[in-house]
Amino acid sequence: MKKQIQPMSIGKYAMKAIGSSLFLLFPLGMTAQTSSNDSISRTVALDEVTIVASNVTRVDNHLVIYPNTQQKKSSNSGYGVLKRLMIPGMIVDTQSNKAEAMGMPVSFYINGQPADERDVRMLRPKDIAKIEYHDNPTGKYAKDQIVVNFILKEYKAGGYVQWDGLQTIGYTHGDYNLATSLNRKHTTCSVFAGANYFDVGSNWTGMAEHYALSGQPVDRTSGSDEAYSRHSEYVQFRLQHQKAGRYIVGKLSLINNASPRSEVAGTVRTGEEVSAFTTSTDQKSLSPKLDLTGTLPLSQTQSFTFGLHGTYSRNLYNRTYREPDFESGSYESENAGGFQLSALYNYSKEKHSFSVELFDFHHVWKAQYAGSHPLDQSLWKNESLVFLSYNYAFTPKLSLRSRVGVDWLQYRLHGSEKLSKLSPRVVLNFQYQLKSGMLLWSSSYNNYNYGMDLINQARIGLNPYLVQTGNPYLKVGRSFNSYLYYSGKIKKTGLSAILQYKLEHNPVVHDYYAEDTYLVKSFTNRGNIHYYGAILAASHTFNRTFSLSGDIRYNYTSVHSVCDFGSRNLTGNLNANVYLGDFSLSPYINFRNKIVNTTSLGIEETPVNYELECTYSKGNFFAEVNLVSPFTDRKFRKTFQHALYAYYSDEDFKTNSRYCHIKLAYTLDFGRQTKKVRQEVDRTINSSLLKSF
């Protein structure tokens, strides 16, 4: 059953928008402008520098990369520049504004201060002086898995105004942003604002389900269409000050997200009976945020870094499911607040480096559920962490990096007993500097903790045979991760490779149990998940106009939990950049991929995806056209097998293929006085609502 949805006015939203390397790493923003080398390697004794390309240098535990003119000219954001660097093993999606390295997320910093998605998206390529790529993060980056730190040019006066707009053809989607920044001596003031919207129809899903109920097994097959509209708006004010190595950044943000309409309508067959069903949901969230971060030099050998982050969210979520002789409704409202504190002291001298890290994460949720399963509940949660790090250089080439700490987790759900648990965390790295690269062995021991989206007693009726709920009695899960990683260069080819093993002990997974005439879907800690992975990635720059990169990835996941199975996967990616004067072409392909969702324990298969990105840049004007799988309908498949419940589904969504987007951007600079950036590459050598998923 296909349902036609009337497109929303593009002009209306446009006016509203304008007016308002290979590695897997150990587990565990203000747009700044400076010419200083922020690298935490300055606090490490090793000075060994290896030139691995004309614009790439390895300095101890990270790469220093100078994007060339073509790479910056053909990009319109920090993500775009990062993508064109073609770091082996890194995948950058400039549409969703996400980056990952060998399946792990990348943490972003700007001039050494934490940066969120909007910071990187609104980052002007022409302002980037260099990029630090940390594949063995230490110091203030030690908590991250992989780090990209953008070092920006220093402006003493002037500013800019930038506008960009993106519109999709194939389904209705728009994204519009306005940014302005003003520099005066040591202070920079910036304001960002923007909005985006979706109006999508005819997302088709076919599903077959099996319920092993105590009375009689039930088999259901269904076909449905989804139509939804979503929009979000944000405004952010930023103020930064830097002088004599002192760097302080403050951000005040207001973010609004809303999905006023999401409807699923279709037919379901249960045995010989065929009936219609509908699901309608709407949700919205309003969230102010405050961030203050900074770095203070104490002496030539000591520094202090701090962070303070506060957030509040007002979240609403409503869901109604209907079919003949059954109706279920859930109406939820939530107030969620919290703050995060961090402090890092670092001392370094000669071959030694020592640091102390303190973190405290405090959250409070209060939620009210009305409808079929009314409930009032609140959760208080606090997590405190202390880490001691010690780095020692045995020789100019061999070094040890260690990070040992303890995690104190406390939480109490109203009506349940308080949980208090101390857990150790350990990371040990041995790094050996090669003539043209680096060899790293890393092992780590870590623990998991959970939010109110898991620790709750709320219930949602998904259909006549399935109810979803949380579990306030989850245990603390643990993980062990070890890998051997190589990064280097052979002639003109950059290479990365990794062999990895990871064990998750008592991970949180979906579980099912029978209750009356239906099944309950919840969470539990049980068993082990073993992950084995191997990746080989390479990139090659033939000349200033053509470069190529790609990788091959193999992994095997063995699950011994609420169900037992193994899954193998062989996949890869291929990407090219071609520069033709003011134009650039970037074709790329992601081959078929299959992963195990370690929470649902379902197997998710993603088909081949191919895209072509074309850009034109002249002066302050930028244009981009991106074609996504123009000749293929990409269908996603999901399967799951449990003793009590099993499903098989196919998804054919308009947002996955046969569309293109057009992006235009213009920047107006005024009063710019740019200090020439000193080349320091050392070339001389929160919502917790229980939603239905």
Residues 6+ apart with CB under 8 A from 679: 66
Number of C-beta neighbours around residue 485 at 10 A: 26
Residues 6+ apart with CB under 8 A from 469: 456, 457, 458, 459, 460, 520, 521, 522, 690
For 216, phi then psi, to 5°, come to -155, 130
SS3 state at 169 = strand
Average the pLDDT over 44-51 and give the result.
42
CA distances from 194 to 76, 97, 326, 635, 655 (A): 16, 15, 42, 32, 21
| Count of positions (residues) in the chain | 693
Answer whether 260's CB lies under 8 Å from 284's CB. yes
Q: What is the DSSP letter of 55?
A: T
Q: With a cut of 50, say whether residue 675 has pLDDT above it.
A: no
Is the CA virtual torsion 204, 208, 214, 215 positive or negative?
A: positive
Answer whether 34's CB lies under 8 Å from 247's CB. yes
Please return the burial class of 415, using the count of CB atoms within 10 Å of its CB with bins 0-12, 13-18 and 19+: exposed
Number of C-beta neighbours around residue 45 at 10 A: 17
Q: What's the confidence (pLDDT) of residue 337?
A: 96
Tokens representing residue 113 in the block: 């201060």
Tokens representing residue 507 in the block: 């991970």
For 80-117, give the secondary structure using H, E and C.
HHHHHHCCCCEEEECCCCEEEECCEECEEEECCEEECH
**681 in a domain, yes or no?**
no
For 658, phi then psi, to 5°, come to 55, 50
pLDDT-derived band at 690, boundaries 50, 70, 90: low
Minimum mean pLDDT range among 347-351, 466-470, 498-502: 347-351
Average the pLDDT over 184-207 and give the result.
93
**Helices (H), ranges, 514-655:** none
**333 in a domain, yes or no?**
yes
Answer whether 420's CB lies under 8 Å from 410's CB. yes
Nearest to 197 by CA among 180, 172, 179: 172
Number of domains in the chain: 1
Q: What is the DSSP letter of 620?
A: T
Q: Which H or E element spans position 53?
A: strand 49-53
pLDDT-derived band at 56, boundaries 50, 70, 90: confident
Report the alpha-carbon distance of residue 302 to residue 457 in Å, rounded: 48
For 195, phi then psi, to 5°, come to -155, 150
Q: What's the confidence (pLDDT) of residue 256?
A: 96
Report the alpha-carbon distance of residue 290 to residue 105 in Å, rounded: 24
**435 in a domain, yes or no?**
yes
pLDDT digits (tens, 9 = 90+) for 543-563: 889 999 999 999 999 999 999
Place of tokens 């449990």: 642
Q: With a cut of 50, say whether residue 658 has pLDDT above it.
A: yes
Strand-strand pairing, 518-525 and 466-469: parallel
Q: What's the confidence (pLDDT) of residue 436?
A: 83
Q: How many helices (H) and strands (E) does the chain have?
A: 4, 40
AA identity, residue 123? L
Dump the DSSP string for 188-243.
EEEEEEEEEEEEEEEEEEEEEEEE--SS--EEEEEEEEEEEEEEEEEEEEEEEEEE
Average pLDDT taken over every residue of the chain: 87
Average the pLDDT over 220-239 and give the result.
95
pLDDT digits (tens, 9 = 90+) for 343-376: 999 998 877 889 999 999 999 999 999 998 899 9
Q: What's the confidence (pLDDT) of residue 282?
A: 95
pLDDT digits (tens, 9 = 90+) for 558-597: 999 999 999 999 999 999 999 999 999 999 999 999 999 9
Distance of CA 169 to the CA centre of its chain: 26
**684 in a domain, yes or no?**
no
For 659, phi then psi, to 5°, come to -150, 165
Residues 6+ apart with CB under 8 A from 568: 554, 555, 556
- pLDDT over 90 for what percent of the chain? 67
Number of C-beta neighbours around residue 126 at 10 A: 17
pLDDT-derived band at 117, boundaries 50, 70, 90: confident
pLDDT digits (tens, 9 = 90+) for 402-460: 999 999 999 998 888 888 999 999 999 999 998 888 899 999 999 988 888 888 889 99
Average the pLDDT over 464-493 and give the result.
92
Nearest to 547 by CA among 29, 61, 68: 68
**689 in a domain, yes or no?**
no
Q: What's the confidence (pLDDT) of residue 14?
A: 36
For 523, phi then psi, to 5°, come to -130, 150
Report the alpha-carbon distance of residue 31 to residue 209 in Å, rounded: 49
Strand-strand pairing, 62-65 and 187-211: unpaired
For 448, phi then psi, to 5°, come to -110, 155
Report the alpha-carbon distance of residue 479 to residue 530 in Å, rounded: 10
Report the alpha-carbon distance of residue 39 to residue 110 in Å, rounded: 11
SS3 state at 443 = strand
Q: What's the confidence (pLDDT) of residue 465?
A: 94
Average the pLDDT over 106-126 and give the result.
89
Q: With a cut of 50, say whether residue 13 has pLDDT above it.
A: no
Report the alpha-carbon distance of residue 518 to residue 529 in Å, rounded: 28
Nearest to 573 by CA among 530, 618, 608: 608
Number of C-beta neighbours around residue 480 at 10 A: 15
SS3 state at 299 = coil
CATH of the domain at 116: 2.40.170.20
**354 in a domain, yes or no?**
yes
Average the pLDDT over 8-16 and give the result.
37
Q: What's the confidence (pLDDT) of residue 692?
A: 55
Enumerate the β-bridge partners of residue 370: 331
AA identity, residue 336? A
**98 in a domain, yes or no?**
yes
Tokens representing residue 318 in the block: 């409503």
Q: Which H or E element spans position 691?
A: none
Number of C-beta neighbours around residue 183 at 10 A: 22
Average the pLDDT over 604-617 and give the result.
96
Q: What's the confidence (pLDDT) of residue 39?
A: 52
Q: Is the model more confident about 160 or about 13?
A: 160
**32 in a domain, yes or no?**
yes
Please return the burial class of 300, using the count of CB atoms within 10 Å of its CB with bins 0-12, 13-18 and 19+: exposed
Q: Where in the sequence is the domain holding 241, given as residue range(s)?
A: 10-668
Average the pLDDT over 502-515 and give the result.
95
Distance of CA 361 to the CA centre of its chain: 19
Distance of CA 560 to the CA centre of its chain: 27
- pLDDT over 70 for what percent of the chain? 89
Report the alpha-carbon distance of residue 475 to residue 69 in Å, rounded: 52
pLDDT-derived band at 687, boundaries 50, 70, 90: low
Average the pLDDT over 7-26 and give the result.
35
Strand-strand pairing, 352-371 and 375-393: antiparallel
Report the alpha-carbon distance of residue 115 to residue 28 in Å, rounded: 20
Q: What's the confidence (pLDDT) of residue 38?
A: 59
